[in-house]
A = this chain, B = another copy of it.
Amino acid sequence: MLIESDLDAVRRHTIASEEPVDFDDFWQATLAEAQNVDLDVRVQRVESVLSLIDVYDITFRGAGGTDVKAWLRVPAGATAPLPAVVTYVGYGGGRGKPEESLTWVAAGLAHLHMDTRGQGASWSVGDTPDAGTGGPQIPGVMTRGIQNRDDFYYRRLITDAVRAVDAAKQLPQVDATRIAVAGGSQGGGLALAVAGLRDDLAAAVAFVPFLCDFGRATLITDSYPYHEIVDYLRIHRDQAASVYEVLGSFDAVFHARRATAPVHFSVALMDATCPASTVYAAFNAYAGPKEITEWAFNGHEGGGIEDETQAIAFVKKHLGV
């Protein structure tokens, strides 16, 4: 059934929370700090059963100097720089195995598939550690380091995501002038964050994005992972103000306000994990050219393969393929 029954209100929804006054300063400082560490991109050819696709094991230094992993997939034997997409993974997953996630490269794009630090165990394999300090937390990453904006898990992960584009630009198989970012759920939230933090993207894609309008999401759904935040506040009752203040610096809605690349969204009206109004909060805030596909009968699976094929068509168009 519809998660939120008033569809007009859903489609018009804008975020009610205030943006932190130092939002830009915070992210400028965060990325500047990260840039103090050399990217140190390493590339290693991977053996696989695939013959149409070459896979490379990519390593670069992300937030705090951690070695972040990714797969680069290109058409077999590709040598000339290709238009490329950098993708981010949903909550709990990692970059998976080399032989997974072949759609983007099968469409002829170079595909840099970034791993997710410290996740990569719940539904797909990851290889990237998370080295941050964290106070008491609910299992998962939504409250890892939530006591302090500088320690919060997503500060590190978003930094990784921004730097993955830098890494992509250094790869010989990638045309550095034609790069898109994409992802679904957490991956979609990261794509929005990167779109807000970079001005060199050709396109962005966010399927049923997570990390949008925390203040509303935590009040209208009991689904995880948003609900991790509620679980934390049930016990740490005195930290509500500080927790939401921290989250304010990581809300993809505020990143969307700063984004300029053309974007393709999807949203699902029966999605209890990322309720439609929270997705519209980001969509309505998005500053660049935008389009959205609404899936009327889907939950958090959204458009599935249809999201992917729409996104590939959108990205190809904007990358001039």
Contact = CB atoms under 8 A, between A and B. Distances in A.
A5 interface: yes
Given A53-B106, A106-B53, A137-B118, A125 B309 contact: no
A131 interface: yes
A237 B297 contact: yes
A140 B49 CA distance: 35
A7 to B, nearest CB: 9
A51 B49 CA distance: 19
Interface in A98-114: 99-100, 102-103, 105-108
B222 A1 contact: yes
**Interface SS, A side:** loop
A234 B51 contact: no
> A96, A106, A295: which has the most chain B beta carbons within 10 Å?
A106
A120 to B, nearest CB: 3
Contacts of A57: none
Nearest to A270: B230
A37 interface: no
Contacts of A102: 102-103, 106
A122 B139 contact: yes
A236 to B, nearest CB: 6
A305 interface: yes
Interface in A39-59: 48-53
A125 B1 contact: no
A60 interface: no
